[in-house]
Protein backbone atom coordinates (compact mmCIF):
# COMPACT_ATOMS: atom_id res chain seq x y z
CA UNK A 1 0.00 0.00 0.00
CA UNK A 2 1.19 3.49 -0.82
CA UNK A 3 2.19 6.04 1.78
CA UNK A 4 0.81 9.59 1.42
CA UNK A 5 4.12 10.79 -0.02
CA UNK A 6 4.24 7.94 -2.55
CA UNK A 7 0.69 8.76 -3.62
CA UNK A 8 1.51 12.45 -4.10
CA UNK A 9 4.65 11.63 -6.07
CA UNK A 10 2.67 9.27 -8.30
CA UNK A 11 0.41 12.19 -9.27
CA UNK A 12 3.43 14.28 -10.26
CA UNK A 13 4.22 11.67 -12.92
CA UNK A 14 0.86 12.19 -14.64
CA UNK A 15 0.50 14.58 -17.56
CA UNK A 16 -2.94 15.89 -16.62
CA UNK A 17 -4.66 18.58 -18.69
CA UNK A 18 -6.43 20.76 -16.12
CA UNK A 19 -7.98 24.20 -16.66
CA UNK A 20 -8.79 26.53 -13.79
CA UNK A 21 -10.11 30.09 -14.08
CA UNK A 22 -9.54 30.02 -17.84
CA UNK A 23 -5.91 28.91 -17.78
CA UNK A 24 -4.13 25.56 -17.94
CA UNK A 25 -2.65 24.52 -14.60
CA UNK A 26 1.00 23.54 -15.05
CA UNK A 27 1.29 21.82 -11.67
CA UNK A 28 -2.04 20.61 -10.23
CA UNK A 29 -0.33 18.90 -7.28
CA UNK A 30 0.91 22.14 -5.73
CA UNK A 31 -1.74 24.60 -6.92
CA UNK A 32 -3.09 26.35 -3.80
CA UNK A 33 -6.75 25.95 -4.83
CA UNK A 34 -6.38 22.26 -5.69
CA UNK A 35 -3.90 21.10 -3.03
CA UNK A 36 -6.33 20.94 -0.07
CA UNK A 37 -8.43 18.42 -2.00
CA UNK A 38 -5.32 16.33 -2.63
CA UNK A 39 -4.54 16.43 1.10
CA UNK A 40 -7.95 14.90 1.79
CA UNK A 41 -7.19 11.95 -0.50
CA UNK A 42 -3.75 11.59 1.06
CA UNK A 43 -5.47 11.07 4.42
CA UNK A 44 -6.93 7.79 3.07
CA UNK A 45 -3.34 6.58 2.66
CA UNK A 46 -2.07 7.98 5.96
CA UNK A 47 -4.72 6.34 8.16
CA UNK A 48 -4.14 2.97 6.45
CA UNK A 49 -0.64 2.96 7.95
CA UNK A 50 -1.70 3.97 11.47
CA UNK A 51 -2.14 1.03 13.85
CA UNK A 52 -5.17 2.67 15.48
CA UNK A 53 -7.10 2.74 12.21
CA UNK A 54 -5.78 -0.22 10.18
CA UNK A 55 -8.76 -2.44 11.00
CA UNK A 56 -11.11 0.02 9.31
CA UNK A 57 -8.84 1.35 6.58
CA UNK A 58 -7.52 -1.98 5.31
CA UNK A 59 -8.83 -5.44 4.49
CA UNK A 60 -7.70 -8.66 2.82
CA UNK A 61 -7.97 -8.92 -0.96
CA UNK A 62 -10.12 -11.86 -2.02
CA UNK A 63 -7.96 -11.99 -5.16
CA UNK A 64 -4.43 -12.07 -3.74
CA UNK A 65 -4.88 -12.64 -0.01
CA UNK A 66 -2.77 -9.55 0.64
CA UNK A 67 -3.63 -6.60 2.84
CA UNK A 68 -5.04 -3.75 0.74
CA UNK A 69 -6.59 -0.34 1.25
CA UNK A 70 -10.34 -0.80 1.76
CA UNK A 71 -11.03 1.73 -1.00
CA UNK A 72 -9.74 -0.82 -3.54
CA UNK A 73 -11.65 -3.80 -2.10
CA UNK A 74 -14.68 -5.81 -3.19
CA UNK A 75 -17.08 -6.27 -0.26
CA UNK A 76 -17.13 -9.90 0.89
CA UNK A 77 -19.64 -9.67 3.74
CA UNK A 78 -22.17 -7.45 5.48
CA UNK A 79 -19.43 -6.61 7.98
CA UNK A 80 -17.34 -5.25 5.10
CA UNK A 81 -20.26 -2.97 4.21
CA UNK A 82 -20.54 -1.83 7.84
CA UNK A 83 -16.79 -1.20 8.04
CA UNK A 84 -17.00 0.87 4.87
CA UNK A 85 -19.49 3.25 6.51
CA UNK A 86 -17.43 3.43 9.69
CA UNK A 87 -14.31 4.19 7.65
CA UNK A 88 -16.11 6.98 5.82
CA UNK A 89 -17.28 8.56 9.06
CA UNK A 90 -13.71 8.45 10.38
CA UNK A 91 -12.36 10.18 7.28
CA UNK A 92 -15.11 12.80 7.43
CA UNK A 93 -14.04 13.54 11.01
CA UNK A 94 -10.38 13.79 10.02
CA UNK A 95 -10.82 16.03 6.96
CA UNK A 96 -14.17 17.82 7.41
CA UNK A 97 -14.50 17.51 3.65
CA UNK A 98 -14.93 15.08 0.76
CA UNK A 99 -12.04 12.57 0.55
CA UNK A 100 -12.99 11.57 -3.00
CA UNK A 101 -12.25 7.82 -3.19
CA UNK A 102 -15.79 6.58 -2.49
CA UNK A 103 -17.10 6.97 -6.05
CA UNK A 104 -14.44 4.68 -7.50
CA UNK A 105 -14.94 2.08 -4.76
CA UNK A 106 -18.68 2.06 -5.36
CA UNK A 107 -18.21 1.85 -9.14
CA UNK A 108 -15.88 -1.15 -8.80
CA UNK A 109 -18.31 -3.02 -6.57
CA UNK A 110 -21.21 -2.32 -8.93
CA UNK A 111 -19.20 -3.44 -11.96
CA UNK A 112 -17.98 -6.60 -10.23
CA UNK A 113 -21.45 -8.13 -10.05
CA UNK A 114 -22.86 -6.52 -13.20
CA UNK A 115 -20.06 -7.74 -15.47
CA UNK A 116 -20.43 -11.24 -13.99
CA UNK A 117 -24.15 -11.36 -14.79
CA UNK A 118 -23.66 -9.80 -18.24
CA UNK A 119 -21.17 -12.53 -19.10
CA UNK A 120 -23.58 -15.19 -17.80
CA UNK A 121 -26.26 -14.06 -20.23
CA UNK A 122 -24.29 -12.89 -23.25
CA UNK A 123 -21.05 -14.89 -23.06
CA UNK A 124 -19.02 -11.67 -23.03
CA UNK A 125 -15.48 -11.32 -21.54
CA UNK A 126 -16.21 -8.31 -19.38
CA UNK A 127 -15.79 -9.85 -15.92
CA UNK A 128 -12.30 -11.18 -16.61
CA UNK A 129 -11.27 -7.83 -18.07
CA UNK A 130 -12.59 -6.07 -15.00
CA UNK A 131 -10.84 -8.53 -12.67
CA UNK A 132 -7.52 -7.83 -14.41
CA UNK A 133 -8.10 -4.10 -13.97
CA UNK A 134 -9.10 -4.58 -10.32
CA UNK A 135 -6.00 -6.62 -9.56
CA UNK A 136 -3.78 -3.82 -10.86
CA UNK A 137 -5.73 -1.24 -8.84
CA UNK A 138 -5.18 -3.28 -5.66
CA UNK A 139 -1.52 -4.05 -6.32
CA UNK A 140 -0.62 -0.43 -7.06
CA UNK A 141 -3.09 1.10 -4.54
CA UNK A 142 -4.50 3.38 -7.22
CA UNK A 143 -7.06 6.15 -6.72
CA UNK A 144 -9.95 5.44 -9.08
CA UNK A 145 -12.60 8.00 -9.90
CA UNK A 146 -16.11 6.99 -10.94
CA UNK A 147 -17.83 8.96 -13.71
CA UNK A 148 -21.57 8.46 -14.21
CA UNK A 149 -23.30 11.83 -14.58
CA UNK A 150 -23.73 13.00 -18.16
CA UNK A 151 -24.48 16.66 -18.85
CA UNK A 152 -27.89 15.52 -20.25
CA UNK A 153 -28.80 18.64 -22.30
CA UNK A 154 -32.59 18.85 -22.65
CA UNK A 155 -33.92 16.73 -19.78
CA UNK A 156 -37.18 16.08 -21.63
CA UNK A 157 -35.35 14.20 -24.41
CA UNK A 158 -33.69 10.78 -24.60
CA UNK A 159 -29.97 10.57 -25.52
CA UNK A 160 -30.74 9.77 -29.18
CA UNK A 161 -33.22 12.66 -29.36
CA UNK A 162 -30.79 15.41 -28.30
CA UNK A 163 -29.93 18.14 -30.81
CA UNK A 164 -26.29 17.36 -30.00
CA UNK A 165 -25.71 13.58 -29.65
CA UNK A 166 -22.59 14.17 -27.53
CA UNK A 167 -24.59 15.46 -24.55
CA UNK A 168 -24.54 11.86 -23.35
CA UNK A 169 -21.15 10.14 -23.58
CA UNK A 170 -21.15 7.66 -26.46
CA UNK A 171 -19.10 5.43 -28.74
CA UNK A 172 -18.31 7.26 -31.98
CA UNK A 173 -16.04 4.61 -33.53
CA UNK A 174 -15.47 0.87 -33.10
CA UNK A 175 -12.06 -0.52 -34.09
CA UNK A 176 -10.42 -3.92 -33.97
CA UNK A 177 -8.31 -2.79 -31.02
CA UNK A 178 -10.93 -0.77 -29.12
CA UNK A 179 -13.46 2.04 -29.22
CA UNK A 180 -13.38 5.83 -29.43
CA UNK A 181 -15.69 7.74 -27.08
CA UNK A 182 -16.88 11.34 -27.01
CA UNK A 183 -18.86 13.33 -24.46
CA UNK A 184 -18.54 14.85 -21.02
CA UNK A 185 -19.12 13.87 -17.41
CA UNK A 186 -20.12 16.58 -14.94
CA UNK A 187 -19.74 16.99 -11.16
CA UNK A 188 -16.71 14.68 -11.19
CA UNK A 189 -15.43 14.36 -7.64
CA UNK A 190 -11.66 14.15 -7.22
CA UNK A 191 -10.82 13.24 -10.82
CA UNK A 192 -7.74 15.49 -10.85
CA UNK A 193 -6.46 13.56 -7.81
CA UNK A 194 -7.05 10.14 -9.42
CA UNK A 195 -4.86 7.92 -11.58
CA UNK A 196 -7.76 6.07 -13.25
CA UNK A 197 -11.40 6.78 -14.02
CA UNK A 198 -14.21 4.26 -14.47
CA UNK A 199 -16.91 5.56 -16.81
CA UNK A 200 -20.52 4.31 -16.64
CA UNK A 201 -23.79 5.21 -18.36
CA UNK A 202 -25.96 7.68 -16.50
CA UNK A 203 -29.41 6.08 -16.95
CA UNK A 204 -31.24 2.98 -18.16
CA UNK A 205 -31.15 2.79 -21.96
CA UNK A 206 -33.29 1.45 -24.81
CA UNK A 207 -32.27 -0.90 -27.62
CA UNK A 208 -31.78 2.02 -30.01
CA UNK A 209 -29.29 3.63 -27.61
CA UNK A 210 -26.52 0.99 -27.79
CA UNK A 211 -23.83 3.58 -28.53
CA UNK A 212 -24.46 5.09 -25.09
CA UNK A 213 -24.31 1.72 -23.29
CA UNK A 214 -20.58 1.90 -22.62
CA UNK A 215 -18.52 1.34 -19.46
CA UNK A 216 -14.73 1.40 -19.38
CA UNK A 217 -11.65 2.55 -17.50
CA UNK A 218 -8.87 4.84 -18.74
CA UNK A 219 -5.92 6.64 -17.13
CA UNK A 220 -6.73 10.23 -16.22
CA UNK A 221 -3.94 11.52 -18.45
CA UNK A 222 -5.27 9.75 -21.55
CA UNK A 223 -5.02 11.65 -24.83
CA UNK A 224 -8.21 13.64 -25.42
CA UNK A 225 -9.29 13.64 -21.76
CA UNK A 226 -9.12 16.99 -19.99
CA UNK A 227 -10.70 18.73 -17.02
CA UNK A 228 -12.33 22.09 -16.39
CA UNK A 229 -12.13 22.79 -12.66
CA UNK A 230 -15.37 23.85 -10.97
CA UNK A 231 -15.77 27.06 -8.96
CA UNK A 232 -16.52 26.91 -5.27
CA UNK A 233 -17.70 29.67 -2.98
CA UNK A 234 -14.73 31.52 -1.46
CA UNK A 235 -12.24 29.40 -3.47
CA UNK A 236 -9.85 32.28 -4.25
CA UNK A 237 -9.36 32.89 -0.53
CA UNK A 238 -6.88 30.01 -0.82
CA UNK A 239 -4.71 32.28 -2.97
CA UNK A 240 -4.47 34.96 -0.26
CA UNK A 241 -2.17 33.08 2.10
CA UNK A 242 -4.52 33.28 5.09
CA UNK A 243 -5.21 30.09 7.02
CA UNK A 244 -7.84 31.85 9.15
CA UNK A 245 -10.03 33.19 6.33
CA UNK A 246 -10.25 29.84 4.53
CA UNK A 247 -11.76 28.14 7.57
CA UNK A 248 -10.44 24.67 6.72
CA UNK A 249 -7.11 25.45 5.09
CA UNK A 250 -5.77 21.89 5.23
CA UNK A 251 -8.44 19.89 3.43
CA UNK A 252 -11.11 20.22 0.77
CA UNK A 253 -12.82 18.58 -2.18
CA UNK A 254 -13.18 19.38 -5.84
CA UNK A 255 -15.45 18.80 -8.80
CA UNK A 256 -14.57 19.03 -12.48
CA UNK A 257 -16.28 18.92 -15.85
CA UNK A 258 -14.44 16.07 -17.60
CA UNK A 259 -14.25 16.30 -21.38
CA UNK A 260 -13.76 13.11 -23.41
CA UNK A 261 -12.72 14.50 -26.78
CA UNK A 262 -12.45 11.33 -28.92
CA UNK A 263 -10.66 9.25 -26.28
CA UNK A 264 -9.44 5.82 -27.41
CA UNK A 265 -10.24 2.88 -25.11
CA UNK A 266 -8.60 -0.53 -25.79
CA UNK A 267 -10.93 -3.53 -25.62
CA UNK A 268 -9.27 -4.95 -22.51
CA UNK A 269 -10.51 -1.88 -20.63
CA UNK A 270 -14.10 -2.05 -21.89
CA UNK A 271 -16.55 -3.57 -19.37
CA UNK A 272 -19.87 -3.00 -21.18
CA UNK A 273 -20.50 -2.12 -24.80
CA UNK A 274 -24.01 -2.17 -26.23
CA UNK A 275 -25.68 -4.49 -23.69
CA UNK A 276 -28.52 -2.11 -22.89
CA UNK A 277 -30.34 -4.75 -20.81
CA UNK A 278 -27.68 -4.45 -18.08
CA UNK A 279 -27.24 -0.68 -18.04
CA UNK A 280 -30.13 -0.17 -15.60
CA UNK A 281 -28.67 -2.84 -13.31
CA UNK A 282 -25.28 -1.11 -13.25
CA UNK A 283 -26.79 2.32 -12.63
CA UNK A 284 -29.01 1.11 -9.78
CA UNK A 285 -26.26 -0.86 -8.07
CA UNK A 286 -23.76 1.98 -8.25
CA UNK A 287 -26.39 4.43 -6.99
CA UNK A 288 -27.25 2.08 -4.12
CA UNK A 289 -23.65 1.72 -2.99
CA UNK A 290 -23.07 5.43 -3.28
CA UNK A 291 -26.24 6.31 -1.37
CA UNK A 292 -25.02 4.02 1.39
CA UNK A 293 -21.73 5.98 1.42
CA UNK A 294 -23.52 9.17 2.42
CA UNK A 295 -24.52 7.55 5.72
CA UNK A 296 -20.83 7.64 6.63
CA UNK A 297 -18.98 10.54 5.01
CA UNK A 298 -21.62 13.21 5.66
CA UNK A 299 -21.95 12.05 9.26
CA UNK A 300 -18.22 12.48 9.87
CA UNK A 301 -18.30 16.02 8.48
CA UNK A 302 -21.43 16.59 10.57
CA UNK A 303 -19.46 15.61 13.67
CA UNK A 304 -16.98 18.41 12.94
CA UNK A 305 -19.76 20.93 12.31
CA UNK A 306 -21.51 20.00 15.56
CA UNK A 307 -18.22 20.37 17.41
CA UNK A 308 -17.62 23.76 15.82
CA UNK A 309 -21.13 24.95 16.73
CA UNK A 310 -20.60 23.83 20.32
CA UNK A 311 -17.29 25.72 20.46
CA UNK A 312 -18.91 28.83 19.00
CA UNK A 313 -21.57 28.71 21.71
CA UNK A 314 -18.85 28.51 24.37
CA UNK A 315 -16.81 31.32 22.84
CA UNK A 316 -19.94 33.48 22.55
CA UNK A 317 -20.79 32.86 26.21
CA UNK A 318 -24.08 31.16 25.30
CA UNK A 319 -23.26 27.50 26.03
CA UNK A 320 -25.47 27.33 29.12
CA UNK A 321 -28.59 28.66 27.40
CA UNK A 322 -31.25 25.95 27.27
CA UNK A 323 -32.18 26.66 23.64
CA UNK A 324 -28.52 26.22 22.59
CA UNK A 325 -28.34 22.86 24.32
CA UNK A 326 -31.58 21.83 22.63
CA UNK A 327 -30.27 22.81 19.19
CA UNK A 328 -27.06 20.84 19.71
CA UNK A 329 -29.09 17.82 20.80
CA UNK A 330 -31.18 18.09 17.65
CA UNK A 331 -28.05 18.28 15.51
CA UNK A 332 -26.67 15.13 17.14
CA UNK A 333 -30.03 13.37 16.76
CA UNK A 334 -30.20 14.13 13.03
CA UNK A 335 -26.57 13.17 12.46
CA UNK A 336 -26.87 9.84 14.26
CA UNK A 337 -30.08 9.08 12.38
CA UNK A 338 -28.11 9.35 9.13
CA UNK A 339 -25.45 7.05 10.54
CA UNK A 340 -28.11 4.56 11.64
CA UNK A 341 -29.43 4.40 8.09
CA UNK A 342 -25.95 3.80 6.71
CA UNK A 343 -25.37 0.97 9.15
CA UNK A 344 -28.83 -0.51 8.61
CA UNK A 345 -28.56 -0.86 4.83
CA UNK A 346 -25.09 -2.36 5.33
CA UNK A 347 -26.13 -4.84 8.01
CA UNK A 348 -28.96 -6.05 5.78
CA UNK A 349 -26.55 -6.67 2.89
CA UNK A 350 -26.74 -9.81 0.79
CA UNK A 351 -24.48 -11.68 -1.66
CA UNK A 352 -24.84 -11.22 -5.40
CA UNK A 353 -24.44 -14.09 -7.87
CA UNK A 354 -20.85 -12.94 -8.37
CA UNK A 355 -20.21 -13.39 -4.64
CA UNK A 356 -19.65 -9.83 -3.51
CA UNK A 357 -22.06 -8.23 -1.07
CA UNK A 358 -24.65 -5.63 -1.95
CA UNK A 359 -26.49 -3.29 0.42
CA UNK A 360 -30.21 -3.44 1.08
CA UNK A 361 -31.37 -1.23 -1.78
CA UNK A 362 -34.50 0.15 -0.09
CA UNK A 363 -32.66 1.17 3.07
CA UNK A 364 -29.79 2.69 1.07
CA UNK A 365 -32.25 4.94 -0.74
CA UNK A 366 -33.96 5.83 2.55
CA UNK A 367 -30.49 6.74 3.85
CA UNK A 368 -29.79 9.12 0.98
CA UNK A 369 -33.31 10.58 1.10
CA UNK A 370 -32.61 11.62 4.69
CA UNK A 371 -29.23 13.01 3.64
CA UNK A 372 -31.01 15.36 1.22
CA UNK A 373 -32.74 16.93 4.24
CA UNK A 374 -30.93 16.55 7.56
CA UNK A 375 -27.57 18.24 6.74
CA UNK A 376 -29.52 21.35 5.71
CA UNK A 377 -31.14 21.49 9.15
CA UNK A 378 -27.84 20.74 10.87
CA UNK A 379 -26.23 23.58 8.91
CA UNK A 380 -29.12 25.93 9.72
CA UNK A 381 -28.81 25.22 13.42
CA UNK A 382 -25.03 25.72 13.29
CA UNK A 383 -25.51 29.11 11.62
CA UNK A 384 -28.14 29.98 14.22
CA UNK A 385 -25.75 29.17 17.06
CA UNK A 386 -22.77 30.88 15.43
CA UNK A 387 -24.47 34.23 14.94
CA UNK A 388 -24.25 36.80 12.19
CA UNK A 389 -20.58 37.55 12.80
CA UNK A 390 -19.83 34.38 10.83
CA UNK A 391 -20.55 36.25 7.58
CA UNK A 392 -19.70 39.86 8.49
CA UNK A 393 -16.34 39.32 10.19
CA UNK A 394 -13.23 41.22 8.99
CA UNK A 395 -10.29 39.37 7.43
CA UNK A 396 -7.13 37.99 9.00
CA UNK A 397 -5.23 40.91 7.45
CA UNK A 398 -7.43 43.29 9.42
CA UNK A 399 -6.65 41.28 12.57
CA UNK A 400 -2.89 41.56 11.86
CA UNK A 401 -2.95 45.24 10.81
CA UNK A 402 -1.24 47.75 13.09
CA UNK A 403 -4.10 50.21 12.60
CA UNK A 404 -7.16 47.94 12.72
CA UNK A 405 -5.84 44.89 14.56
CA UNK A 406 -6.19 46.23 18.12
CA UNK A 407 -9.81 47.21 17.43
CA UNK A 408 -10.66 43.83 15.86
CA UNK A 409 -9.04 42.15 18.86
CA UNK A 410 -10.98 44.37 21.28
CA UNK A 411 -14.43 44.46 19.72
CA UNK A 412 -14.69 40.89 18.43
CA UNK A 413 -13.86 39.45 21.82
CA UNK A 414 -16.45 37.04 23.20
CA UNK A 415 -15.71 35.27 26.49
CA UNK A 416 -12.76 37.09 28.08
CA UNK A 417 -10.66 33.95 28.54
CA UNK A 418 -10.90 32.95 24.86
CA UNK A 419 -8.51 34.64 22.40
CA UNK A 420 -10.34 36.64 19.75
CA UNK A 421 -8.47 34.74 17.05
CA UNK A 422 -9.88 31.43 18.33
CA UNK A 423 -13.39 32.79 18.09
CA UNK A 424 -12.72 34.02 14.55
CA UNK A 425 -11.23 30.67 13.51
CA UNK A 426 -14.18 28.59 14.64
CA UNK A 427 -16.64 30.98 12.97
CA UNK A 428 -14.68 30.74 9.72
CA UNK A 429 -14.77 26.94 10.00
CA UNK A 430 -18.57 27.00 10.32
CA UNK A 431 -18.73 29.37 7.34
CA UNK A 432 -16.52 26.99 5.36
CA UNK A 433 -18.69 23.99 6.17
CA UNK A 434 -22.04 25.61 5.52
CA UNK A 435 -21.37 28.25 2.84
CA UNK A 436 -17.77 28.00 1.64
CA UNK A 437 -15.67 25.47 -0.26
CA UNK A 438 -16.54 22.56 2.06
CA UNK A 439 -20.25 23.14 1.38
CA UNK A 440 -19.64 21.40 -1.96
CA UNK A 441 -18.83 18.24 -0.02
CA UNK A 442 -21.47 18.69 2.67
CA UNK A 443 -24.43 20.95 2.11
CA UNK A 444 -25.17 20.98 -1.64
CA UNK A 445 -23.66 17.58 -2.33
CA UNK A 446 -26.02 16.16 0.28
CA UNK A 447 -28.84 17.21 -2.01
CA UNK A 448 -27.56 16.20 -5.44
CA UNK A 449 -24.68 13.76 -4.90
CA UNK A 450 -25.61 10.11 -5.74
CA UNK A 451 -28.79 11.47 -7.30
CA UNK A 452 -31.26 14.19 -6.28
CA UNK A 453 -34.22 13.45 -3.94
CA UNK A 454 -36.62 12.35 -6.67
CA UNK A 455 -34.21 9.62 -7.78
CA UNK A 456 -34.37 8.05 -4.32
CA UNK A 457 -38.14 8.37 -4.18
CA UNK A 458 -38.46 6.47 -7.45
CA UNK A 459 -36.28 3.68 -6.07
CA UNK A 460 -38.13 3.64 -2.74
CA UNK A 461 -41.39 3.19 -4.66
CA UNK A 462 -39.90 0.31 -6.66
CA UNK A 463 -38.47 -1.40 -3.59
CA UNK A 464 -41.42 -0.81 -1.25
CA UNK A 465 -43.31 -4.04 -2.25
CA UNK A 466 -46.71 -2.52 -1.59
CA UNK A 467 -48.44 -5.68 -2.79
CA UNK A 468 -46.89 -7.66 0.06
CA UNK A 469 -47.89 -4.95 2.53
CA UNK A 470 -51.46 -5.02 1.20
CA UNK A 471 -51.43 -8.77 1.74
CA UNK A 472 -50.45 -8.27 5.37
CA UNK A 473 -53.28 -5.79 5.86
CA UNK A 474 -55.83 -8.12 4.20
CA UNK A 475 -54.84 -10.99 6.44
CA UNK A 476 -55.14 -8.93 9.63
CA UNK A 477 -58.45 -7.39 8.46
CA UNK A 478 -59.89 -10.76 7.49
CA UNK A 479 -60.27 -9.91 3.81
CA UNK A 480 -60.34 -13.14 1.81
Choose among 34, 33, 83: nearest CA to 60: 83
Our CA angle for 185, 187, 190, nearest 5°, is 100
Residues 6+ apart with CB under 8 A from 388: none
Residues (pLDDT < 50) of the chain are none
Choose among 348, 233, 254: nearest CA to 295: 348
pLDDT, tens digit, for every residue of 24-42? 999 999 999 999 999 999 9
Give the residue numbers annotated as catalytic, written as ranges.
Answer: 98, 102, 189, 255, 290, 294, 297, 445
Class of domain 281-468: mainly alpha
DSSP state of 214: E
Helix (H) or strand (E) segment spanning residue 237: none
Give the integer Cα–Cα distance in Å for 213 and 206: 9
pLDDT at position 440: 83
Write b or e for each residue in 265-301: b if 16 or more Cβ atoms lie within 10 A of its Cβ, otherwise e. Answer: beeebbbbbbbbebbebbbbbbbbbbbbbbbbbbbbb
Give the integer Cα–Cα distance in Å for 247 and 296: 22
For residues 6, 143, 100 and 155, what is the CA-based torsion angle, rounded to 10 degrees? 150
pLDDT at position 439: 81
DSSP state of 413: -
List the chain domain ranges: 4-275, 281-468
Give the integer Cα–Cα distance in Å for 63 and 350: 20
Beta strands in 380-434 (DSSP E): none
Helix, strand and coil in the chain, % to nearest 5: 55, 15, 30
Q: Nearest 5°: phi and psi at 219? A: -65, 150
User: Which residues lie across from 23 on neighbouring strands?
Assistant: 20
How far is residue 379 from each of residues 231, 438, 442, measured CA to CA in Å? 21, 12, 9
The overall longest dimension of the chain from CA atoms, in Å, is: 86
How far is residue 316 from each of residues 305, 332, 394, 422, measured CA to CA in Å? 16, 20, 17, 11
Give the integer Cα–Cα distance in Å for 214 and 52: 41
Give the integer Cα–Cα distance in Å for 84 and 181: 33
DSSP state of 248: S
Give the integer Cα–Cα distance in Å for 388 and 390: 5
**Nearest-10 crossing angle of helices 126-140, 102-122:** 150
Give the integer Cα–Cα distance in Å for 152 and 162: 9
Give just the sign of the alpha carbon dihedral 448, 106, 363, 374. Answer: negative
Query: β-pairing, 255-266 with 178-189?
Result: antiparallel
pLDDT at position 394: 98
pLDDT at position 97: 96
Give the integer Cα–Cα distance in Å for 361 and 364: 5
Helix, strand or coil, per DSSP, at residue 104: helix
First to last CA, the chain: 62
Q: Which CATH architecture has domain 4-275?
A: Beta Barrel (2.40)
How far is residue 389 from each of residues 90, 318, 328, 411, 415, measured CA to CA in Å? 30, 14, 19, 12, 15
Q: Nearest 5°: phi and psi at 233? A: -60, 130
pLDDT, tens digit, for every residue of 68-119? 999 999 999 999 999 999 999 999 999 999 999 999 999 999 999 999 999 9
Choose among 188, 145, 205, 143: nearest CA to 8: 143
Amino acid sequence: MKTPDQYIESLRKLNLEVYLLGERVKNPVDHPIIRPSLNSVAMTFQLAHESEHKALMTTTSHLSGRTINRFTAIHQSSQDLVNKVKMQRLLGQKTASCFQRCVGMDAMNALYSTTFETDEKHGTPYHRRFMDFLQRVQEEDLVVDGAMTDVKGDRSLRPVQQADPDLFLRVVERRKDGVVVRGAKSHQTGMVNSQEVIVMPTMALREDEKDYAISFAVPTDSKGLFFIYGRQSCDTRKLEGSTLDVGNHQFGGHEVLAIFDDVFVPWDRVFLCGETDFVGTLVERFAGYHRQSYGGCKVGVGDVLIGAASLAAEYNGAAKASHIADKLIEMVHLNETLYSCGLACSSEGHPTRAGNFEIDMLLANVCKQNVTRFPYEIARLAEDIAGGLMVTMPSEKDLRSERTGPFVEKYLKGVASVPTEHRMRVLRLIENLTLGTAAVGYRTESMHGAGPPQAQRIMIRRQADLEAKKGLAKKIAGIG
